[in-house]
Structure 1
Amino acid sequence: MPLIHVTLLDGRTPEEVASLGRALTDAVHETLGTPVDAVRVIVEKASPAHWFVGGRSVAERRSDSS
C-alpha cells in the first residue's frame, strides 16, 4: 500500500488540498496499478514561520519582499 506524505505551506483551501489528494491517488493508481482504496495520502500544513529556505523562514522572506 503506497503512502504519499506531502507538506504544504499553510494557506491552501480545503478544496485545493482535497483535489491534490485525489490527483496523487489517481497518479499512483494509473502508474503503478495500485487499487485506489490501497493508496494513502497524508497532507500536512506548515506555518510560514516554521518553513525555512536558505536558513530564513518563509515568513521572514515574505516580510522582506513587502
Structure 2
Amino acid sequence: MSSGSAATGYRSRNARASTSWSVRFCAASSKKENTMLVLKVTMVEGRTPEQKAELIRRLAEAAGRHLGFPVEEIRTVIYEVGRDEWGIGTMTMAERDRAASSQPGD
C-alpha cells in the first residue's frame, strides 16, 4: 500500500457567507511512482447536483493544467455542511442569516 504526501494546499473564499468554500489538495505517491491527486472541497450545502458536477469538472481541469496531473488521476470529494454547523466568529451562519433578516430596512 502506498502513502506519502507530495503536495498540500489550501484556498478559501468568503465574499459572502453563502459562497464560503475551501479546497484542500494532496498528492500521494507509491513506490511505483504512480500519483493520484485528491481535491477535498468543503462548502455550505445548497448547491444543485449540476453545480457540483460543474465544480468537479472545472477543479479537475484546473488542477491538471496547473499542477501537471492527468485528469484521470484526479479525485474530487465534496463535503457539504449545514448552515447550523458552519460558524463564523461566535455565530452559526443560520444565526447570522436570522440576524441579517431582522435588520430594519430589509
Fold conserved (TM > 0.5)? yes
Partner residue, 1:20: 55
Which is greater in Rg? 2
1:3 partner letter: V
**C-alpha separation between the residues in 1 aligned to 2:53 and 2:43?**
13
> How far is 1:13 from its partner?
0.7
Q: How many residues align?
A: 66
More strand by share: 2
Partner residue, 2:68: 33
SS of the aligned residue for 1:23 comes to helix
More helix by share: 1
SS of the aligned residue for 1:48 comes to coil
Partner residue, 1:53: 88
> How far is 1:57 from its partner?
0.3
Q: Larger RCO: Structure 1 or Structure 2 (Cα < 8 Å, ≥ 6 residues apart)?
A: 1
**Gap runs ≥5 in structure 1:** none
- Relative to the length of structure 1, the TM-score reads 0.94
**C-alpha separation between the residues in 2 aligned to 1:55 and 1:20?**
30
Identity of aligned residues (%): 36
Match for 1:10 among 16, 33, 45?
Answer: 45
**Gap runs ≥5 in structure 2:** 1-35, 102-106
Partner residue, 2:27: none
